[in-house]
Structure 1
Amino acid sequence: MIDRGPGRYVAVGDSFTEGVGDGSKRRPNGVRGWADRLAEALASDSPGWEYANLAIRSKRLRHIIAEQLEPAIAMEPTLITLYAGGNDVMDLGTKIVDILAEYEFLVSQLAQTGATLVLFTGYDVEVSPILGPLRRKNHAYNDGVRLIAAKYGAVLVDYASFNAYANSRMWGPDRLHMSKAGHKYMAARVLDVLGVPHGITHRDKRKAPRGVRQRAREHRTWVTEWVLPMFGRKLRGTTLGDSLSPRWPQPVRVPPKKGLKKLIR
C-alpha cells in the first residue's frame, strides 16, 4: 500500500494519536501510543524513516487546522495519519454537517501533499446510557469519513468495525481511550492496511467476570473520576491539552533498533 523505502511520517490529530491510555513515563507527555509503535515498525522494516507527531489531546478540528495543518505540510511528509473530529462530535450543540465540512477541508489540504493519507472512523464506545445520544452523531460522522476517504483517495482504517474493541481490556480507565493493548492492536491494524510486515501480536485475553457490586463500584468511580470532571472542563472551557506541546514536534530519525526510546534521555 505504501512505498517500503524510508520516508517521513507525520501524525496529526488529538488524544487518539497522541497516545493517551498507553502510559510511558519517560516519553514526551507521558504516553507512547500506536503512532510511536507504527513509526518504530516502519523504521525496523526499512531503516531511515523519520517521524513527527503533532497530535495533542482534546484538540477540536478548528485547533488542528490552526495549529497542526501548516506545520504538517511544511514537513513534506510521505505518510500522514489523521484522526480528528471525535471531540467535536462529543461537544454539545455541534452539528455533523459543520464537523464534516471542517474535516473535509483538513483532508483536502493534506491530500494535496501527495503523501499517503490514512484516515480513521471512530469507534462506537458503549460506556453508559449517559453518552448514548452521542452515538447517532458518531454514526453520521463515520459515514461522512468513509465518503471523504473515498473522494480523496485516502487509505481508510475502519476502526468502527474492529470487533476486538468489544473487549473491555482494550480500553483505559476512562472507557474512552484505548489501553496499551488497544494501542498495540491499532498499530498492528494500521501496518496491516499499509502492507508493512511487523511483529506486533495480539492476544484476545478477557478480564475475569465481575460481580454486580463490583461493576456498580467501578461505574460510580468512573462517573466521579472521569465523567463529571469532563463535563466540568466543558463548562469552564478548558481541556486536558491546554498546557501541552506536541510530543515529537520536528521529524526525528527513528533508530531501527530499540526504536524511539533510544532518543529519550
Structure 2
Amino acid sequence: MRYQRFVALGDSCTEGLDDLLPDGAYRGWADRVASVLDAPGFRYANLGVRGRRLDQMLSEQVPLAAQLSPDLVVLFGGGNDVMSGATIPQIAERADAMVRAATALAPTAAVFTLSDISHRMPFGWRMRPRIEALNSAMRAAADRYGALLVDVWADECVNDSRYFGPDRLHLSSLGHRRLAGHLLSALGVPFDSSWMAPLPGAATNASMWDHWRWLRDQVIPVAYSRSRNKLIGRQPGDGFTPKRPQLLPLA
C-alpha cells in the first residue's frame, strides 16, 4: 500500500532526540520512515513533543492530527508515563485511550511497545513492572481497536549501548534507524536491509565508572531539573512545539 499522508505522534523519541543531523537538527525514526515512503504527492507531519505523556498526547496531538486527515498514523509513547511514576492502572487507561484515538484517525494506525531498558541502569528493576504494564496495555489495545503492533520488547539491540544515547533512554542514530526498520517491516514496505543488520564487534557494556559518570552527568541533573520544574508548576515539554505541525512534502 502506498501512503501519502503520514502523521507521527509521540514524545522525544518521535521528535528524534539523540539522532543528530550535521546541522544540529534532530532526525529520528519518523523522519527515516518518511524518507522511505517519500514519493510524488507524499506529505509528512510530526507532532512529537519531548516530555509528553500519553494523556497529554491525547489532548494536544490527537486534535491536531484529526485536522490533517492522515492515511497513516504512528504512535510512539508511554515512556514518560513510566518515568513519571504513574500507577499501573493509570498507564493502562492512558494507553487504551490513546490507541483507540489513534485508530480513529487513519485507515492504518501503528503503535510501538517499549524495549526492556530496565536492566541497563542501576535500580532499573523498579521501572520494569510499569514498562510491562504499558506493553501489555498496548498489545491489548492494538488487538481491540485494530492497530498494527510493532513489538520491540524482545529486540536484542537493547543489550548494546551503541543503540542508545548518553542518557541510556533515548535512542542513538543507530537505534532510530533500527526502530524505523521495525516499523517498515510491519508495514510491509521495502527498505535498506542494513538498517537491521547486527553491528560489527561485541555488544558494549557499561563499567562501574560508566555507571558513576552516567549518574553524575545524566541522572542527577535531570532529577534536579524535574524537581525544580515541579515546584514552579512546569511540566517536561512545556514551551516546545510540534516538530512538523503541518503535512508538508519531505523536502
Instruction: With the length of structure 1 as denominator, give the TM-score of the two structures.
Output: 0.85
Secondary structure at 1:12 match in 2: strand
Per the TM alignment, residue 52 of structure 1 is displaced from its structure 2 partner at its CA by: 0.2
- Mapped pair 1:205 → 2:199: yes
Unmatched segments (≥5 aa) in structure 2? none
For residue 96 of structure 2, the aligned residue among 74, 84, 104 is 104
- The Cα shift of 1:109 comes to 2.0
Partner Cα distance (1:197, 1:11) in 2: 19
Asked whether 1:152 is paired with 2:148, we answer no
Shift of 1:186: 1.0
Given that 1:184 and 1:200 are in contact with CA atoms closer than 8 Å, whether structure 2 keeps it comes out as: no
Give the secondary-structure state (helix, strand or coil) at the position aligned to 1:72.
helix
Post-superposition shift, 1:48?
2.1
Q: Structure 2: how far apart are the matches of 1:87 and 1:154?
A: 21
* Pairwise CA RMSD: 2.1
CA separation in 2, counterparts of 1:209 and 1:67? 39
What TM-score do you get using the length of structure 2 for normalisation? 0.90
Q: Partner of 1:244 in structure 2?
A: 240
Once the two structures are superposed, residues 133-184 of structure 1 have per-residue CA deviations (whole angstroms, 9 ceiling, x without a partner) of: 1111111211111111000110000011212332221111111111101111
Q: Which amino acid aligns with 2:213?
A: T
Match of 2:158 in 1: 165
Partners of 1:39 and 1:172 lie apart in 2 by 22
Match of 1:257 in 2: none
The question of whether the paired residues in 2 share the 8 Å contact of 1:21 and 1:179 is answered with yes
The 3-state SS of whatever aligns with 1:51 is: strand
Q: Percent identity?
A: 36
**Equivalent residue, structure 2, for 1:10:** 7
Greater RCO structure (CA 8 Å; 6+ sep): 1
- Using a 3 Å threshold, how does the CA distance of structure 1 residues 196 and 53 change in structure 2: closer, same or farther? same
The letter of the residue matching 2:246 is Q
Contact kept in structure 2, 1:21 and 1:178, CA below 8 Å:
yes
Aligned length: 245
* Structure 2 CA distance for aligned equivalents of residues 224 and 208 of structure 1: 26
Is the contact between residue 20 and residue 31 of structure 1 (CA under 8 Å) also seen in structure 2? yes
Pair 1:222-2:218 in alignment: no
- Counterparts of residues 17-36 of structure 1 (less than 5 Å): 17-26=14-23, 30-36=25-31
Answer whether contact 2:9 2:73 (CA < 8 A) is retained. yes
- Decide which moves more: 193-202 or 135-144: 193-202
Q: Report the residue type matching 1:156 in the other structure.
A: L
The question of whether the paired residues in 2 share the 8 Å contact of 1:15 and 1:56 is answered with: yes
1:70-219 → structure 2 map (5 Å cutoff): 70-92=63-85, 94-125=86-117, 126-199=119-192, 201-202=194-195, 203-205=197-199, 215-219=207-211
